[in-house]
């Protein structure tokens, strides 16, 4: 299991170089190359929601890991085979040249991208959960989920693998080996993981997904579209059982209350059997919570658009700047490692701040955190625009506009501030959003639990939609990342409107005007920040009123 996690680290750093591979070897236009890379990382962010649903509904955690590891291993293998020397179009073509790229390579690459995204998402989504399950089933009660995750992602082997990926992998010149080494490591890890199939017979089984509640409530409410909602909420269906999780009824989104209407056409016992026609009030309230979050989630889509430039255009800029410090050639992945560290450290710092604020009963702290992360995103775009303007000036000065293959005599560390700001933005946002959608009383209760009681609290919380919120947020990120493809297309078309000026996105980096695109993202994020503040204030106000209603009902 540990080997599988370590192999993933090596493969992720290899995937960061995909943009450079497509533009240097395949000679794709930067927009086409960025589209392929964006699809990879967008699917990677979208898949966890569907995978969690499959785990809860059809397979166990081990079953999903079995599928995802096989998918990841196959995807990396196909990507390795897509390099020209391994998948030749003709018998004499054995170099990394565009002429050596034919339909076989394209088919292999386009098949590899979704397989890698699915496999990587499944591994990262289920790995820590699976380790926690194994710790519980083997009686290792002293090994908590947090300790297991720390062992996988924070020990000495992780450091060694990271050093190999950052300092060793970039010096491997043939792309077939640069992708092949992670592919081989992943294959070995996959075979080792499959060899333990018999020892994992006690892994938890699928018990149904809370996500199904959403679909059932909408179907049941629509089927009773022409029924009138009872004036007394007590007439709505609910199982009064002290041992069963329940939520008080609220007066918001009353149209969904129709799902809990008991019709006079059949007996209650008959209607209870058809859960797609009759839902509990608790299930309706869980659905309402998700629906009320939709306006906020829409303000997060643009954050995914900003995140996407880190995978694509930032890497392309990095790949065409001077990597040397004196006589020492610094691998490009070092900048990516610093970005990852910034994301991790800012997330940890934010978590400490928000836990302190929640302990002091200041629930507005995560709202300010999300706003702060959006400000960091704006600063990132502004910094990127200024650095790109300077880079284009150097390109013009040295006559490199039409010389795409030559490196710009400007150190790549000019890009470090924008990478650090991007990492800070993601770290603060992920931490803030996680606390924003967690109920204050629930979080305070969680923080007051002893280590032995945490797992029981999590088990009780799984009946609600709360644990799916992280997957929903990841899905919103995915929508934003994929939406960056549309944003590039629209901005490019607007920039050339009327034939007054060229499209900002040309064949290569030196002829494009990415600085103007970054300025556009900065302005859009500024507007998005204002919209978020307005929506968040309204959301918090409505949630406060609903909480008062619940407390009043509980007192009655």
Token look-up 């166990």 returns 60
Residues 165 and 216 in one domain: no
Distances (CA, A) of 445 to 21, 247, 434, 546: 49, 17, 16, 20
Tell me, yes or no, whether 553 lies in a domain.
no
Looking at the structure, tell me whether residues 68 and 198 fall in a common domain.
yes
Same domain, 239 and 164: no
Mean pLDDT lowest among 55-59, 366-370, 454-458: 454-458
pLDDT, residue 459, reads 39
In this prediction, residue 413 has a pLDDT band, given cuts at 50, 70 and 90, of very high
β-bridge mates for residue 321, sequence order: 408
Higher pLDDT, 199 or 172: 172
The reply to whether 536 falls in a domain is: no
Mean pLDDT (the chain) is 79
Terminal CA-to-CA distance of the chain, rounded, Å? 52
As a whole number, mean pLDDT of residues 539-551 equals 67
Question: Does residue 149 register a pLDDT over 60?
Answer: no
Name the most confidently modeled range: 39-43, 283-287, 443-447, 450-454. Answer: 39-43
Bigger pLDDT: 405 or 260? Answer: 260
* DSSP-H helix ranges across 496-513: none
Instruction: Kindly state whether residue 236 falls inside one of the protein's structural domains.
Output: yes
Q: Which residue has the tokens 């859960």?
A: 275
Q: What is the DSSP string of 203-222?
A: SPPP---THHHHHHHHHHHH
Q: Are residues 281 and 361 in the same domain?
A: no
**In angstroms, rounded to a whole number, what is the distance separating the alpha carbons of residues 476 and 437?**
14
Residue 266: pLDDT above 70?
yes
3-state helix/strand/coil string of 409-440: EEEHHHHHHHHHHHHHHHHHHHHHHHHHCCCH
345 and 485 share one domain: yes
- Residue 89 pLDDT > 70, yes or no? no
Q: How far apart are CA 145 and CA 355, in angstroms?
A: 19
Residue 544 maps to a domain: no
Is there a domain that residue 99 lies in?
yes
Output the pLDDT for position 126: 72
Band the pLDDT of 517: cuts 50, 70, 90: very high
The predicted structure's pLDDT at residue 43:
94
202, 231: one domain = no
Mean pLDDT of 179-184: 87
Characterize 202-226 residue by residue with b for buried, 16 or more Cβ atoms within 10 angstroms of its Cβ, and e for exposed. eeeeeeebbbebbebbeebbebbee
Q: In this structure, what token pair is assigned to residue 470?
A: 């992280």
Q: Is the pLDDT of residue 187 over 60?
A: yes
Regarding whether 172 and 198 lie in a shared domain, the answer is yes
- What's 200's DSSP letter? G
Q: Which of residues 170 and 400 earns the better pLDDT score?
A: 400
Question: Has residue 504 been placed in a domain?
Answer: yes
Q: Residue 372's domain is classified under what CATH number?
A: 1.20.1250.20
User: Domain ends where: 290, 318, 335?
Assistant: 290
417 has pLDDT over 90: yes
Structure tokens, 523? 């302005």
Residue 451 has pLDDT above 50, yes or no: no
Looking at the structure, do residues 388 and 462 belong to the same domain, yes or no? yes
Report yes or no on 39 lying in a domain.
yes
On whether residue 67 sits in a domain, the answer given is yes
Residues 212-245 have pLDDT tens digits of 888 889 998 998 888 888 887 777 887 765 545 5
153 and 98 co-located in one domain: yes
Rounded to an integer, what distance in angstroms lies between the CA atom of residue 286 and that of residue 519?
Answer: 40
**Would you say residue 203 has pLDDT above 70?**
no
Distance (Å, rounded) from C-alpha 508 to C-alpha 487?
18
Count the domains in the chain.
3
Angstrom distances, CA of residue 415 to CA of 11, 313, 318, 411, 475: 23, 11, 7, 8, 28
Cα(174)–Cα(176) distance, rounded to whole angstroms?
5
CA distance 164 to 157: 11
* Residue 524 pLDDT greater than 90, yes or no: yes
Between 121 and 86, the more confident residue is 121
Based on the domain organization, do 92 and 130 belong to the same domain?
A: yes
Percent above pLDDT 70 for the chain = 75
Task: Say if CB 310 and CB 396 are below 8 A apart.
Answer: no
Structure tokens belonging to residue 298 = 């829409």
Residue 460 has pLDDT above 50, yes or no: no
Do the Cβ atoms of 307 and 422 come closer than 8 Å? yes
Please say if the pLDDT value at position 145 is more than 50: no
21-25, 189-193, 499-503, 523-527: range with lowest mean pLDDT: 499-503
Residue 498: per-residue pLDDT = 58
**Confidence band of 210 (pLDDT split at 50, 70, 90):** confident
Backbone angles phi, psi at 160, to 5 degrees: -65, -45
Look at residues 235, 262, 290 and tell me which one is the last residue of a structural domain: 290
Please write down the long-range contacts of 460-468, taking CB distance under 8 Å and 24 or more positions apart: 460/245, 462/210, 463/210, 463/245, 464/210, 464/245, 464/286, 465/210, 465/211, 465/213, 465/214, 465/286, 465/287, 465/289, 465/290, 466/438, 466/439, 466/442, 467/210, 468/49, 468/52, 468/210, 468/211
Helices 514-555 and 365-397: angle between axes, nearest 10 degrees: 170
Q: From CA 218, how far away is CA 222, in angstroms rounded?
A: 6
Residue 485 banded pLDDT, cuts 50, 70, 90? very high
The pLDDT score that the predictor gives to residue 303 is 93
* 155 and 172 share one domain: yes
Please state the rounded mean pLDDT for residues 72-80.
Answer: 91
For 277-301, how does the pLDDT look when each residue is reduced to its tens digit (9 = 90+)?
A: 888 888 888 888 888 888 888 999 9
Domain boundary, last residue among 190, 207, 224: 207
Q: What are phi and psi of 408, to 5 degrees?
A: -75, 130
Q: Which residue range is the domain that position 97 belongs to?
A: 1-207
Question: Which residues are paired to 324 by β-bridges?
Answer: 329
pLDDT at 471 over 50: yes
Segment 349-382, tens digit of pLDDT: 888 887 777 655 566 777 888 899 999 999 999 9
105 and 228 assigned to the same domain: no
Pairing of strands 321-322, 408-411: parallel
In which band, very low, low, confident or very high, does the pLDDT at 272 lie, cut at 50, 70 and 90?
A: confident
């Amino acid at each position: 299991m540990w080997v599988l996690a370590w192999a993933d680290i090596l493969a992720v750093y290899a995937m960061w170089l995909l943009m450079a591979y497509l533009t240097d070897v395949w000679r794709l236009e930067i927009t086409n190359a960025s589209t392929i890379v964006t699809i990879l990382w967008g699917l990677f962010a979208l898949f966890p929601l569907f995978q969690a649903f499959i785990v809860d509904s059809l397979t166990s955690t081990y079953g999903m890991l079995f599928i995802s590891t096989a998918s990841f291993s196959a995807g990396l293998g196909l990507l390795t085979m897509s390099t020209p020397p391994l998948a030749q179009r003709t018998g004499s073509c054995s170099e990394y040249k565009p002429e050596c790229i034919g339909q076989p390579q394209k088919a292999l690459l386009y098949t590899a991208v979704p397989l890698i995204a699915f496999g990587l998402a499944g591994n990262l989504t289920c790995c820590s959960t699976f380790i926690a399950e194994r710790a519980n089933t083997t009686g290792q009660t002293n090994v908590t989920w947090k300790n297991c995750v720390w062992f996988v992602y924070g020990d000495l082997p992780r450091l060694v693998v990271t050093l190999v990926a950052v300092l060793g992998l970039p010096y491997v010149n043939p792309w077939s080996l640069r992708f092949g080494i992670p592919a081989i490591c992943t294959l070995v890890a996959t075979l080792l993981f499959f060899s333990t199939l018999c020892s994992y017979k006690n892994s938890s089984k699928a018990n149904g997904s809370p996500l199904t509640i959403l679909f059932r409530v909408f179907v049941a409410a629509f089927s009773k579209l022409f029924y009138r909602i009872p004036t007394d909420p007590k007439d709505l269906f609910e199982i009064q059982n002290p041992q069963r999780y329940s939520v008080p009824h609220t007066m918001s989104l009353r149209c969904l209350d129709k799902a809990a209407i008991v019709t006079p056409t059949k007996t209650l016992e008959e209607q209870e059997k058809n859960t797609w026609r009759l839902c509990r009030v608790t299930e309706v309230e869980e659905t309402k919570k998700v629906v009320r979050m939709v306006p906020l989630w829409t303000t997060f889509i643009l954050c995914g658009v900003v995140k996407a430039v880190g995978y694509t255009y930032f890497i392309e800029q990095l790949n065409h700047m001077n990597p040397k410090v004196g006589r020492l050639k610094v691998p490009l992945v070092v900048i990516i490692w610093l970005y990852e560290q910034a994301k991790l450290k800012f997330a940890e710092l934010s978590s400490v701040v928000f836990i302190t604020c929640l302990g002091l009963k200041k629930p507005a702290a995560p709202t300010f955190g999300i706003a702060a992360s959006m400000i960091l995103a704006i600063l990132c775009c502004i910094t990127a625009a200024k650095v790109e303007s300077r880079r284009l000036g150097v390109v013009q000065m040295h006559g490199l506009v039409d010389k795409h293959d030559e490196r710009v005599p400007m150190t790549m560390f000019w890009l470090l501030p924008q990478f650090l700001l991007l990492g800070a933005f993601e770290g603060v946002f992920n931490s803030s959003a996680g606390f924003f959608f967690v109920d204050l009383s629930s979080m305070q209760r969680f923080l007051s639990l002893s280590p032995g009681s945490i797992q029981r609290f999590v088990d009780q919380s799984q009946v609600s939609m709360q644990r799916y919120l992280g997957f929903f947020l990841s899905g919103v990120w995915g929508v934003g990342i994929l939406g960056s493809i549309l944003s590039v297309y629209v901005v490019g078309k607007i920039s050339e409107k009327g034939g007054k000026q060229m499209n900002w996105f040309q064949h290569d980096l030196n002829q494009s005007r990415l600085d103007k695109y970054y300025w556009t993202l900065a302005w859009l994020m500024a507007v998005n920040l204002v919209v978020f503040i307005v929506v968040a204030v309204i959301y918090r106000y409505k949630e406060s009123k609903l909480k008062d209603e619940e407390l009043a009902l509980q007192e009655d």
